A = this chain, B = another copy of it.
Amino acid sequence: HFLKALDEVRPAFGVEESQLRNYIRNGIIRFGDGFSKVEDTCTKLLHQVKNSEATPLLSVLLEGQSGSGLTALAAYLGMISDFPYAKMITPEDLVGYSESAKCSKITKIFDDAYKSPLSLIVLDNIERLLEYVRIGPRFSNQVLQTLLVLVKRIPPNKRSRIMIIGTTSSGALLDDLSLREAFQVCVKAPLVHGPADITKVFRELNCNIAEKDLDMIANSVDFPIGIKKLLMVIEMSSQTPNRLITFDEFMRCLTDYGL
């Protein structure tokens, strides 16, 4: 069961677990091979930072379309990392701050991390941290320059090691900003894809649905879909007596939801 999974990963050293847990509101469903592969890669990298003294810094970019579960996945990695220091930096925490206030907030978190022997920082939704907008284009060069330096900065403290996970749904932008090349490894976030994946999700959620309807849904959704969007459509189509989901209602919601 997907909820149990989270309960098992309780970090040992007092990391802000509840902060991370907040970003995984609907748990983590291991929905298929795509997911497993990404989980494997990331686990290996976590392991390297933990064990290799010659790796004081490891930076990973998690790239995927909006709604593919980027934020939850990064938070999840933070939880299972078991590092004494783990922290999310999200646009929501920084809303309303000036550019320079954002920069000093971010820098402060890195400085705190350098004090820990082992730390993990998530830079969630980098394009939003940068206040990016396509028209212009505009973005905060001050925040960008701060990230460009911090993502590559080896902890000044010789006994510290740090893992940095960035998430983005605008890979191309990060290329243009030379920010992608500042990350050492790049991982693509998995999408729910194919009948098996979709069925897995419905099953894990214990949905009230007839087998036949589930089959039809699993076969109709013949395109990759983000887990966040899928969960939303399932919820919309459950607004019925006994939360019974039918094929028709599901497909109607899928369309309404603008897909």
Chain A interfacial positions (CB closer than 8 Å to B)? 22, 25-26, 41, 44, 47-48, 51-52, 54-56, 66, 91-92, 95-96, 98, 100, 103-104, 107, 128, 131, 133-135, 137-139, 141-142, 144-146, 148-150, 153-154, 156, 176-178, 181, 184-186, 232, 235-236, 238-239, 256-258
Tell me whether A92 and B146 are in contact in the complex, defined as CB-CB below 8 angstroms, given that A51-B239, A184-B257, A185-B256 are known contacts: no
Q: Is the CB of B103 within 8 A of A235?
A: no
List residues of chain B with CB within 8 A of the CB of A139: 135
Q: Is the CB of B134 within 8 A of A135?
A: no
List residues of chain B with CB within 8 A of the CB of A52: 235, 238-239
List residues of chain B with CB within 8 A of the CB of A153: 92, 95
List residues of chain B with CB within 8 A of the CB of A92: 149, 153
Q: Number of copies of this chain in the oligomer?
A: 6
Most chain B Cβ neighbours within 10 Å, of A98, A100, A150, A236: A236
Beta-carbon nearest neighbor of A141 in chain B: B138
List residues of chain B with CB within 8 A of the CB of A133: 141, 144-145, 177-178
Beta-carbon nearest neighbor of A91 in chain B: B149
Q: State how many angstroms separate the Cβ of A219 from the closest Cβ of chain B.
A: 25
List residues of chain B with CB within 8 A of the CB of A149: 91-92, 95, 128
Task: Give bound CA distance, A156 to B21, whole Å.
Answer: 12
Task: Give bound CA distance, A228 to B176, whole Å.
Answer: 23
**20 further A-B pairs in the complex, CB-CB below 8 A; given A95-B153, A128-B149, A131-B142:** A22-B156, A25-B154, A48-B235, A51-B239, A52-B239, A55-B236, A92-B149, A95-B107, A95-B146, A95-B149, A96-B100, A96-B104, A96-B107, A131-B145, A133-B145, A134-B176, A135-B137, A135-B139, A135-B176, A185-B256
Q: Is the CB of A96 within 8 A of B146?
A: yes
Q: Is the CB of A95 within 8 A of B150?
A: yes
Task: Give bound CA distance, A138 to B141, whole Å.
Answer: 8
